Chain A
């Protein structure tokens, strides 16, 4: 993990300073002189050579100090720790919805195998996959926010609600502490962005799982169970499904990173207060310390997710578990 993160840190640091546009250029007002620009560059340490800047920054990161955001004027780590829980909760909810929809669609598809209903399921899954998450976000926003205005379309919670929670994991804490009014208000706001993120991912799960189910269903053990008189749905669920799950988790798990990447635009569209939304502002403002912190955070999450997927596959697959 450390070499990967170091590589990411080097790439993002150098790229930010090579591409045109820096925070000082965004900051200088009419009337600023060359001397004012020099003064501001020095104030933010941007007058130093890139290598010197990198060594200083990386040294700070190694000691847990991600620097100070130029635009927000707060510690980057504090900002990340404040906003990251919102993105994690949204991603978890989206993953849950995706798994639910994906598994149901795969089961519906396999149960209707060889019939017209299978085309309908496959067609629906194809549509879910073909439309990217940000487009789903806009569709859902217009559908449930405007056409049938049943759900809120902005924010993480209604501004009138007094939250009063200790952590920034609002949903998890409110559920654990029995504050279901808050949990309900949060879910109410999270459903649309979570659904937008979930639908393409659900389609991936459905496709992978259905293919695995079809392959596993043709195996001898499934045919023997059928010959013994067990119903097909029961065989699918109890015999075929656990075996089909392993390749689905192995391949689909990696795709969770796409879901995480999708939070950037989806959070923006729904004005959701996660790190994805913050990332866009950071880029617009050329807030170098914040962008660097965000990229490193995403990198850590991607690596952790891949690791988690490997562990889950190992747990599910006895061949891997027992060497």
Chain B
């Protein structure tokens, strides 16, 4: 039997269906952070809870979360200087043959058990185990034969590593709970991790959010917010929308144009901080980069300030060496000037001109870092004016890593180099020392200059040595440093946020304004 169904009723049904989402929205919970809760729209997902093993252990962006849950051996201040963490004292003996560590008394794990010297030694030994999967194992394996005396630990230096204590504040430099880890195993730890940091894990929905609760027994005092939520919002547009909708209290790593727009909105505040991450162009020692005139011309032809001002809205600090301001071996006296006329004359000495340009390929990512491709387009334009005809090749960052490790990069290749411990060995050292798989310039000149600095036990001499190397590199044009990145942070007005030079966003340092 047929029922009567009119056009009017069909349209009414359609209208009803269309309004469903709106009704749902009106009835639903408001997208506001609950009282006592800090919600951070975070830019990467958290793959693994073990901060010492695998891919995520060496991802600098994830360290903010790790440092909320776990304690590094040694703390780091916002200006990259080092301060007591779980270790209150650390150092070498006079002849650098032993290390001495002193553990803080009274620190507890999230399950209430005390942090012990055994935990520290176990963490160091586990990190040094070649089968353990710690990517920085080559640092941790340089000390061994640990002995415990109360809260004091001593160890034998198997091979002198000047940056050992600096690494204790950064990648994979975390103390994990020996007894708990051995009880639950690796899989169990991933499912229910505990640390000794200011926050303990309360709930984790992979690719969605991590909810933390304040650790009442934290040695550094209870943090200001009882609950912290990291929402994993990897898309920058979505992070901007989160802030505009009020769904999050803070976000970072958003396009500079959006940063400028958001910071002028009522209720929001923007702050910027130069971070330990630089933009640079690797030069590979193959033709035509074997010609010093070409290398120097490529350096002098780039107007870094114009790039920062026009493409990055002024959010960047032009640099002349791989040592940015704030790094231990930064030397402000080393300058590589923007001088297109000098670039032209240098090229002319090698027989090149705008009419008869030197030709090579420059590789770059596109969208991996802010305006990376646009920046290289601008640089190629600047080069063209002085007599360099560069062909742009776009590749993925994974391909860059592989090509670099095989010493198969193009004559010029754009990259960003982070150095959160601020040590010259982890910037100029690894980027320019021939035997390193990260180095594109394999020339003996730098191997001879950097080589002796690896084992230099006199810190002042070591830093001075790196400054001299930086000066030499600038004079020879063996790399093209571009600028230091600036991190944009947007947060609600009712928050006080301490920005870190390392780029980390640490909830324990965020307080109500």
Residues of chain A having any CB pair with chain B under 8 Å = 20-23, 25-34, 36-37, 39-40, 43, 69-75, 79, 82-83, 100-101, 104-105, 107-108, 111-112, 138, 141-142, 144-146, 149-160, 162, 184-185, 187-188, 191-192, 195, 230-231, 233-235, 237-238, 267-274, 277-278, 280-281, 285-287
Contacting residues, chain B, for A40 (C-beta < 8 A):
133, 135
Please give the number of chain B residues whose Cβ is less than 8 angstroms from any Cβ of chain A in the complex.
Answer: 88
Contacting residues, chain B, for A151 (C-beta < 8 A):
21, 24-25, 28, 31
Q: Which of A73, A184, A230, A268 has a CB less than 8 Å from the CB of B190?
A: A73
Contact of B130 with A by CB under 8 A: yes
Q: Which of A29, A70, A286 has a CB less than 8 Å from the CB of B398?
A: A286
Q: Is the CB of A158 within 8 A of B14?
A: no
Contact of B131 with A by CB under 8 A: yes
Q: Which of B10, B14, B135 has a CB less than 8 Å from the CB of A28?
A: B135
Contact of B458 with A by CB under 8 A: no
Q: In the assembly, what is the distance between CA of A107 and CA of B373, in Å?
A: 49
Q: Given A29-B136, A74-B187, are A153 and B437 neighbors across the interface (CB < 8 Å)?
A: no
Contacting residues, chain A, for B22 (C-beta < 8 A):
150
Q: Is the CB of A43 within 8 A of B133?
A: yes
Contacting residues, chain B, for A162 (C-beta < 8 A):
203
Contact of B234 with A by CB under 8 A: yes
Residue of B nearest to A100 (CB): B17
- Enumerate the 8 nearest inter-chain pairs by beta-carbon distance, A residue then B residue, closest first: A21-B398, A150-B25, A25-B401, A273-B208, A30-B430, A20-B399, A188-B28, A149-B245
Q: Is the CB of A153 within 8 A of B208?
A: no
Binary contact readout B388-423 vs A (1 if CB under 8 angstroms, 0 otherwise)? 000000011111011101000000000000010000
Q: Is the CB of B137 within 8 A of A36?
A: yes
Q: How far is the CB of A117 from chain B (nearest CB, A)?
A: 9
Contacting residues, chain B, for A142 (C-beta < 8 A):
241
Q: How far is the CB of A70 from chain B (nearest CB, A)?
A: 6
Q: In the assembly, what is the distance between CA of A65 and CA of B54, in Å?
A: 20
Q: Is the CB of A154 within 8 A of B402?
A: no
Contact of B205 with A by CB under 8 A: yes
Q: In the assembly, what is the distance between CA of A100 and CA of B25, in Å?
A: 20
Contacting residues, chain B, for A108 (C-beta < 8 A):
10-11, 14
Q: In the assembly, what is the distance between CA of A79 and CA of B356, in Å?
A: 58
Binary contact readout B420-434 vs A (1 if CB under 8 angstroms, 0 otherwise)? 000001110111000
Q: In the assembly, what is the distance between CA of A220 and CA of B489, in Å?
A: 69
Residue of A nearest to B235 (CB): A269
Contacting residues, chain B, for A138 (C-beta < 8 A):
237
Q: In the assembly, what is the distance between CA of A112 and CA of B7, in Å?
A: 9
Q: Given A21-B399, A83-B206, A151-B25, are A72 and B48 neighbors across the interface (CB < 8 Å)?
A: yes
Given contacts A20-B396, A158-B29, A160-B229, 8 further A-B contacts (CB under 8 A): A20-B398, A33-B435, A73-B48, A145-B242, A149-B245, A150-B21, A188-B24, A271-B234
Contacting residues, chain B, for A273 (C-beta < 8 A):
205-208
Within 8 A of A (CB), among B445-480: none
Q: Is the CB of B17 within 8 A of A233?
A: no
Q: Is the CB of A233 within 8 A of B7?
A: yes
Q: Is the CB of B398 within 8 A of A25?
A: yes
Q: Is the CB of B37 within 8 A of A281?
A: no
Q: Is the CB of A28 within 8 A of B37?
A: no
Residue of A nearest to B48 (CB): A73
Contact of B6 with A by CB under 8 A: yes
Q: Is the CB of A31 within 8 A of B47?
A: no
Contacting residues, chain B, for A104 (C-beta < 8 A):
10, 13-14, 17
Q: In the assembly, what is the distance between CA of A71 and CA of B46, in Å?
A: 9
Residue of B nearest to A274 (CB): B207
Q: In the assembly, what is the distance between CA of A306 and CA of B6, in Å?
A: 35
Q: How far is the CB of B225 from chain A (nearest CB, A)?
A: 13
Contacting residues, chain A, for B131 (C-beta < 8 A):
43
Q: Is the CB of A73 within 8 A of B245?
A: no
Q: Is the CB of B405 within 8 A of A28?
A: yes
Which of B11, B139, B246 has the most CB atoms of chain A within a 10 A radius of its CB? Answer: B11
Q: In the assembly, what is the distance between CA of A104 and CA of B13, in Å?
A: 8
Q: How far is the CB of A78 from chain B (nearest CB, A)?
A: 9
Q: Is the CB of A37 within 8 A of B405?
A: yes
Residue of A nearest to B11 (CB): A108
Contacting residues, chain A, for B441 (C-beta < 8 A):
none
Q: Is the CB of A39 within 8 A of B130?
A: yes
Q: In the assembly, what is the distance between CA of A101 and CA of B56, in Å?
A: 43
Q: Which of B4, B20, B138, B234 has a CB less than 8 Å from the CB of A32?
A: B138
Residue of B nearest to A232 (CB): B7
Q: Which of B2, B138, B205 has a CB less than 8 Å from the CB of A156?
A: B205
Q: How far is the CB of A214 from chain B (nearest CB, A)?
A: 16
Contact of B287 with A by CB under 8 A: no
Q: Is the CB of B25 within 8 A of A27?
A: no
Q: Is the CB of A153 within 8 A of B28?
A: no
Residue of A nearest to B41 (CB): A154
Q: How far is the CB of A299 from chain B (nearest CB, A)?
A: 21
Residue of B nearest to A271 (CB): B233
Which of B37, B131, B227, B238 has the most CB atoms of chain A within a 10 A radius of its CB? Answer: B238
Q: In the assembly, what is the distance between CA of A70 and CA of B2, in Å?
A: 61
Q: In the assembly, what is the distance between CA of A270 and CA of B13, in Å?
A: 28
Q: How far is the CB of B424 from chain A (nearest CB, A)?
A: 11
Contacting residues, chain B, for A231 (C-beta < 8 A):
2, 4-6
Q: In the assembly, what is the distance between CA of A75 and CA of B190, in Å?
A: 11
Q: Given A33-B437, A278-B206, are A159 and B211 neighbors across the interface (CB < 8 Å)?
A: yes
Contacting residues, chain A, for B397 (C-beta < 8 A):
21
Contact of B269 with A by CB under 8 A: no
Q: In the assembly, what is the distance between CA of A141 and CA of B233, in Å?
A: 13
Q: In the assembly, what is the distance between CA of A158 and CA of B136, in Å?
A: 37
Residue of B nearest to A237 (CB): B5
Q: Is the CB of A30 within 8 A of B238?
A: no
Contacting residues, chain A, for B55 (C-beta < 8 A):
23, 26-27, 70-71, 285, 287
Some 24 contacts from A to B, beta carbons below 8 A apart, are A29-B171, A30-B427, A30-B430, A40-B133, A43-B131, A70-B55, A72-B48, A73-B190, A104-B13, A108-B10, A141-B238, A141-B241, A151-B28, A153-B241, A155-B231, A160-B227, A188-B24, A188-B29, A230-B2, A231-B6, A234-B2, A235-B2, A238-B3, A271-B238
Q: Given A144-B25, A237-B5, are A21 and B438 neighbors across the interface (CB < 8 Å)?
A: no
Contacting residues, chain B, for A146 (C-beta < 8 A):
241, 244-245
Contacting residues, chain B, for A112 (C-beta < 8 A):
7
Within 8 A of A (CB), among B35-73: 37, 39, 41, 45, 47-48, 50, 53-56, 58
Contact of B436 with A by CB under 8 A: yes
Which of A185, A267, A277 has the most CB atoms of chain B within a 10 A radius of its CB? Answer: A277
Q: Which of B50, B136, B139, B209 has a CB less than 8 Å from the CB of A159?
A: B209
Contacting residues, chain A, for B199 (C-beta < 8 A):
none
Q: In the assembly, what is the distance between CA of A36 and CA of B436, in Å?
A: 11
